[in-house]
Amino acid sequence: MIESKRKEEISKSYLNAVCAVKGIAMEPQTHDDDSIDAILKKIVHRPDGSKYNAAISVQLKSTSSGCPERGGHYSYRLKVKNYNDLRLSATMKSYLFLLGRVDTNVRHRG
């Protein structure tokens, strides 16, 4: 298996484990032409007793190189297509989830 595929599988497995612990349904997307790898869903119970269905779409990325950290922000190079897909207006919010290590010794470029 090539490294990029291994990273993809690790990030899916990690997210699935986190969702299982938190009681969140994870629905992997079999096609991701729109850069969406999974949809996360949960029924949220509000303090007033009401409840509603919450859902977000997620693009998963994984890196084995350090992500530079500066002032609580992390730098990661994302393809323009993926960035633009995440910025599209949608009925469901989209987020980028990045699995990697934070390296405070890596110089921030830019």
Structure tokens at 101: 């290590």
Residue 109 counted as domain residue = no
Per-residue pLDDT tens over the stretch 15-36: 999 999 999 999 999 876 788 9
Residue listed under structure tokens 């207006």:
89
Q: Find the CATH number of the domain harbouring 58.
A: 3.40.1350
Q: Grade residue 107 by pLDDT with cuts at 50, 70 and 90.
A: low
Q: How confident is the model at residue 6, as a pLDDT?
A: 87
Distance from the Cα of residue 32 to its chain's centroid: 13
Amino acid identity, residue 25?
A: A
Instruction: Give the per-residue SS3 of 68-90.
Output: EEECCEECCCCCHHHHHHHHCCC
- Cβ distance 7 to 63 under 8 Å? yes
User: How many independent structural domains does the chain possess?
Assistant: 1
Q: Taking the CB of residue 93, how many other CB atoms lie within 10 A of it? A: 11
Question: Is residue 104 scored above 60 in pLDDT?
Answer: no
Residue 39 counted as domain residue = yes
Per-residue pLDDT tens over the stretch 56-90: 999 998 887 777 777 878 788 888 998 899 898 88
Residue 75 counted as domain residue = yes
Domain membership of residue 97 as a residue range: 3-102
Looking at the DSSP bridge assignments, the partners of residue 43 are 53
- Cβ distance 55 to 92 under 8 Å? yes
Alpha-carbon distance of 56 to 96, in angstroms, equals: 11
Looking at per-residue confidence, does 109 or 75 come out higher? 75
